[in-house]
Structure 1
Amino acid sequence: MRPRIGYKKLAAVGVAAVVGVASTIALTSGSASAAPVFGYSGYAFGTDVQAGVVGHGPQVVAQFSCTTDSNRSDQNDLATANVNNQAIARTVTTDTHSFNNQHGNGVTSNATAVDIRIGSLLTLTGAKTTTTAVYKNGNLSYTGSTTFASVKIGGVSVPSLVKPGPNTKVAVPGLGYIVLNRVGGVKTSAGIYSYAQAVVLHATTKNRYIPKGVDVAVLKTRAEITKPATAMVIGDAYGTKAYVDKLVKSGPTSYQATCQGTEGKTIRNAVAEVVIPKVAYVGAIYTTKNGYMGAEKSAVNFTSHVAGVKVGNLSIGAIESSASAWKTKDGKVGLNSSSNVVSIKVGNKSYNVPTEPNSTLDIPGVAKLTFNQVVRQSRYISVNALVIDVYSLNTKVIVGHSAAGVIG
């Protein structure tokens, strides 16, 4: 069982997959081989707040991102997943895995719960959701489904909803409405991703369980596969991530990643202010990604933007980073990164901000700051604009992360 990941005052926009720092992105060797590669990515969450303000982010997380390993897998479990300090889903398990077998190349993600309850308003037992994205014989396809052992609304059994059709909307008196078996898939020029969610709770009525205006996905899965390509673009970006020792205290905020690029479109993901409990207050955050895979050139760019961070008496101004990578058909590879931190203050005292890669500033009794932390490989680069090691809390906070690379 893993520690729960908590965000406070989080307004999520779009889909965020929680993954680790740059080292979790799996690369092949730096060989100039043009052998085709596939990109695999997937996740499964127990619960995830999709809109509104509530005190946590994704829970019971199983995930991997942008790997070429067809045997990658992850799994997780938790006795109870909570929303707004209410037990929403019990005995939750999640898993995701890639494969290359007679069914093709693909990813499958699953999530189950013994029951999902909103007091006496809604009871879903034996819940299971799954989605698969596959490439086989030149074709892209996906499947997704959700089933329940039983469904009760307001204490009344509704057998017709045990195997709901896709995106079935049902009113729940005292809560608002729910969408059962929310499924879909999106094809791009580079691949396909699919999603499936057992139930999305929409609290449109004041109630004691979920704040009005909040949407929560319970048992949320995603699977992604790329077409074979001579160069796959990869990368990720997030605003903040916090650790205590090696344990995640707060997962990536405003997270974005890719295994397919974006067909040349800039995609933005934003969150409102974030409170990392007992550690830091973080201002508004947004990240961007833009990438494409083509016959002449493949390229990708990620950026991260944070309005500011406060850790005790330590006040940090706006923070930004970017990372980009490209490869041309003749094998040439380019990598670039940049970062910027506007200001550092402790109380009324200001400090100069170093600009050289991996520069440090030790503020006795407060924190050690590392600026422009860069990791560079032959086809991959990552940058953390700022890393804060908080002495009194034995906590590390990464701020302004961007990474980009090419495989193939």
Structure 2
Amino acid sequence: MRPRIGYKKLAAVGVAAVVGVASTIALTSGSASASPVFGYSGYSYGTDVESGLANSGPQVVSKFGCTTDANKADKNDIATANVNEQAIARTVKTDTHAFNDKRGTGVTSTATAVDVKVGNLLTLTGVKTTTTAKYSKGQLSYTGDTSFAGVKIGNVVVPSLLKPGPNTKVAVPGLGYIVLNRVGGVKTASGIYSYAQAVVLHATVKNRYIPQGVDVAVLKTRAEISKPATALVIGSAYGTKANADKLVVSGPTSLQTTCQGTEGKTVRVAAGELNIPKVAYVGADYTTKNGAIGEDKSYINFTSHVGGVKVGNLSIGAVESSASAWKTKDGKAGVSSSSSIASIRVGNRVYPVKTGENATLDIPGVAKLTFNKVLRQKRYIEVDALVVDVYSLNTKVVVGHSAAGVVS
């Protein structure tokens, strides 16, 4: 069992898919004659706040990032998943695993809960949601579905919703509305990913359980498989992330990851201003990714852009970073990164912005700053434009993260 992280308030990052940190993947050396590889990734969450304000990332997480291992698996369970200090989902279990058998090769993600409750407004029992994405006999396909043992809205039992159709919208007096069995899939020239969510709670009116304006996905799953390629592309980008010891204070904002690339198109994800209570204020940020996988060449580029950050008396100007990786079928490969920070100021005093890799600046009584923090491997690179260690709060704030790599 993993520790529970409760929800409070923090700016929304939309529905960006969190598929895992690429730096945990062991990159292999590949050769000119290497066989094409498949890429597997997926996740299952107990709860995830998709908009509004909260103070942590997804709960009860089972996930793995882009991997070539068809035996990769992750499981998790927890007694309760909370939102806004309310017990929303109880006895939650999640499971994400890859497979390569008579069905084909792919990923299945499943999440279950004994019950999902929003006070006396909504009660769902025996909840299960699952999705599968696979490649078989040259074809990509997916399935996704949700079922319930019982559905009660207020004091009314609704048996017709035990096996709801895809994306069934239902009004819930005192809350707003819910969407049951939100499912779908996206097929590209590079592969396919699918998603399934048991229920999405939309709090459109003031209530005591979920802040008005907040959307919460309960039992959220995703599965992804790529077509065979000369190399897979991995990586991530986000604007900011904050941790106190091992506790998530603020999850990654504007997060993007990849396994398949983007078919050469630039994908942009943006978040508004963010207030991390008692820690920092973050200006609007956005990230981009652009890349593709193929039999001749695979490449990827991630960028991160942050409008500015304030931590107590410390003011940080605009922050940017980028990371790129590529590989061709003849075995040639490369990685690169860059970062920049507009300014560093405490009150009226301006501090120099250091440009070397892993350079540090100690501001007594305020924070330790690490500039252009780079981790480099043969076919993988990640850069944090700035890492702020806040002495008084025992908190670390990462600003402007980009990472990119290739796996073969």
| TM-score (structure 1 length as normaliser) | 0.93
Q: CA, structure 1 residues 303+142, in 2 after alignment: closer, same or farther (shift >3 Å)?
A: same
Pairwise CA distance, 1:388: 1.6
In the alignment, the residues of structure 2 paired with residue 248 and residue 84 of structure 1 have an alpha-carbon distance, to the nearest angstrom, of 15
Structure 1 pair 8–172 and aligned structure 2 pair: CA distance change class (3 A): closer
Compare 42-51 and 199-208 and name the one that shifted more: 199-208
Q: How does 1:82-93 map to 2 (within 5 A)?
A: 82-93=82-93
SS of 2:23's equivalent? helix
The 3 A distance-change label for structure 1 pair 387 and 230 is same
**Aligned AA for 2:340?**
N
For residue 280 of structure 1, what is the aligned residue in structure 2? 280
Asked if 1:80 corresponds to 2:80, the answer is yes
Partners of 2:182 and 2:116 in 1: CA distance: 16
* Match status 1:258 vs 2:251: no
Match of 1:398 in 2: 398
Structure 1 spans left out of the alignment, 5+ residues: none
- Further displaced range: 29-38 or 89-98: 29-38
Aligned match of 1:137: 137
Q: Which amino acid aligns with 1:115?
A: D
Secondary structure class of the residue paired with 1:242: strand
The aligned counterpart of 2:38 is: 38
After the TM superposition, which residues 113-192 of structure 1 pair with which residues of structure 2 at under 5 Å, given as runs?
A: 113-192=113-192
Aligned length: 407
Runs of 5+ in structure 2 lacking a partner? none
Q: Are the aligned partners of 1:130 and 1:144 in contact in 2 as well (CA < 8 Å)?
A: yes
In 1, Cα distance between the equivalents of 2:393 and 2:298? 43
For residue 9 of structure 1, what is the aligned residue in structure 2? 10
* Mean Cα deviation higher: 282-291 or 207-216: 207-216
Query: What is the aligned-residue RMSD (CA, Å)?
Result: 2.0
Structure 2 CA distance, aligned partners of 1:360 and 1:93? 42
Query: What per-residue deviation string (whole Å, max 9, x for no partner) do you get for residues 61-106 of structure 1?
Result: 2211112222222222332222233222122222212222232221
For residue 185 of structure 1, report the CA deviation from its aligned partner: 0.9
* Distance verdict in 2 for CA 1:246–1:208, change over 3 Å: closer
Mean CA deviation greater in 155-164 or 69-78: 69-78
Per-residue deviation, residues 228-286 of structure 1 (Å, max 9, x unmatched): 11121111111122233344443222111000011111111112222334332222121
* Cα displacement (A) at 1:151: 0.5
**Is this contact kept in 1: 2:59–2:81, CA < 8 A?**
yes
Q: Deviations over 1:22-48 (max 9, x none)?
A: 522442335555212111111111112
Letter in 2 for 1:154: G
Q: How far did 1:337 drift?
A: 0.8
For residues 69 and 250 of structure 2, what CA distance do their matches in structure 1 show? 27
8 Å Cα contact 1:3/1:248 also seen in 2: no
The CA distance in 1 between the partners of 2:148 and 2:226, in whole Å, is 31
Deviates more, 1:244-253 or 1:370-379: 244-253
> 8 Å contact 1:14–1:269 — kept in the other structure?
no
Deviations 1:374-407 (A, max 9, x none): 1222211111111122233333222111011122
Contact 1:381 1:405 in 2 (8 A): yes
User: 1:166-210, CA deviations, whole angstroms, 9 ceiling, x for partnerless residues?
Assistant: 212222222222111111111111111000000111223333322
Aligned to 2:61: 61
Q: Equivalent residue for 2:267?
A: 267
Mark the CA change 1:158 to 1:259 in structure 2 (over 3 Å): closer, same or farther.
same
Query: Hey, which bits of structure 1, 4+ residues long, moved more than 4 A?
Result: 30-33
**Equivalent position SS for 1:49:** strand
SS in 2 for 1:321: strand
Q: Which residue of 2 aligns with 1:204?
A: 204
In structure 1, the partner of 2:342 is 342
SS in 1 for 2:392: helix
Report SS of the residue matched to 1:160.
helix
Q: 3-state DSSP class of the match of 2:196? A: strand
Is 242-251 or 127-136 further displaced after alignment? 242-251
Query: What is the alpha-carbon distance in structure 2 between the residues aligned to residue 6 and residue 207 of structure 1?
Result: 16
Once the two structures are TM-superposed, the CA of residue 3 in structure 1 deviates from its matched residue by 4.1
In the TM superposition, residue 217 of structure 1 has moved relative to its aligned partner by: 1.0
**Higher mean C-alpha deviation, range 351-360 or range 62-71:** 62-71
Amino acid at match of 1:232: L
| d(CA) in 1 for partners of 2:29, 2:338 | 25
CA contact (8 A) 1:303 1:321 kept: yes
- Tell me how far apart the structure 1 counterparts of residues 6 and 260 of structure 2 sit (CA, whole Å): 27
Relative distance call for 1:253 and 1:402 in structure 2 (3 A) is same
Letter in 1 for 2:292: Y
| Percentage identity across paired residues of the two chains | 74
Structure 1 residue 306 displacement after superposition: 1.2
Other structure's SS at 2:365 match:
coil
2:100 corresponds to: 100
Report whether the alignment pairs 1:302 with 2:297: no
CA contact (8 A) 1:16 1:254 kept: no
Offset, 1:290: 0.9
